[in-house]
Amino acid sequence: MSDLPGDLLYTKDHEWLRREDDGSVTIGITDHAQSALGDLVYVELPEVGQDVDDGGDMAVVESVKAASDVYAPISGSIAAVNEALADDPEKINTDPYGDGWIVRLQPSDGIDEGALMSPDDYQQFVDELDD
């Protein structure tokens, strides 16, 4: 398991969130998630401006193996999507916390940090899954 970026928050669905300076939140899937999915071959992205609800479907990532939903970890509206994934979904495999980001969300109600995990908590969560 590679080191988890310390500046991110994590979810039980193996997604990460980064707070940006403009108040938006960038979201992707974790290294653990991309590794479990295998080589990604297609990403279905939402429309910019679309509203999403906490826990609702937001995107779909498909690997050679299976399709997997990406859930909205908070409510908000889609501020940007990573268009580069359309031609190169493997960016999620090679750089899940960087070039493999999926969407940027403008939160509608702020972020409930209690519902999210710190890097240490997420690491422990993943370790327990592997046992």
Partner 1 sequence: MGSKTPLHEKHVDAGARIVDFGGWDMPLHYGSQKEEHHAVRQGAGVFEVSHMTIVDLRGDRARDFLRYLVANDVAKLHEYGKALYTCMLNPEGGVIDDLIIYYLSDTDYRIVVNAATRDKDLAWITKQAAEFDVSVLERPELAMIAVQGPKARELAAPCIDAEYREAALAMKPFFGMQAGDWFIARTGYTGEDGWEICMPAAEAPAVWDRLLAAGVVPCGLGARDTLRLEAAMNLYGTDMDETVSPLEAGLNWTIAWDPDDRDFIGRAALQEFRDKPNKQRFVGLLLEDRGVLRNHQKVVVEGIGEGEITSGGFSPTMGKSIALARLPAGDYDRAQVEVRGKLLNVRIVKTPFVRNGQIRIDI
Residues near partner 1 (CB under 8 A) are: 38-39, 41-42, 44, 60, 62, 64-67, 86
CB of 30 to partner 1, least distance (A): 16
Closest CB to partner 1 among residues 100, 107: 100
Q: What does the chain come to in residues?
A: 131
d(CA 10, CA 67): 21
Query: Cβ closer to partner 1: 38 or 56?
Result: 38
Residue 81 to residue 59: CA distance in whole angstroms: 10
Rounded to whole angstroms, the Cα distance separating 43 from 29 reads 12
CA distance 52 to 65: 27
In the complex, minimum distance from the CB of residue 42 to partner 1, in angstroms, rounded to a whole number: 5
In the complex with partner 1, which residue's Cβ is closer, 54 or 88? 88
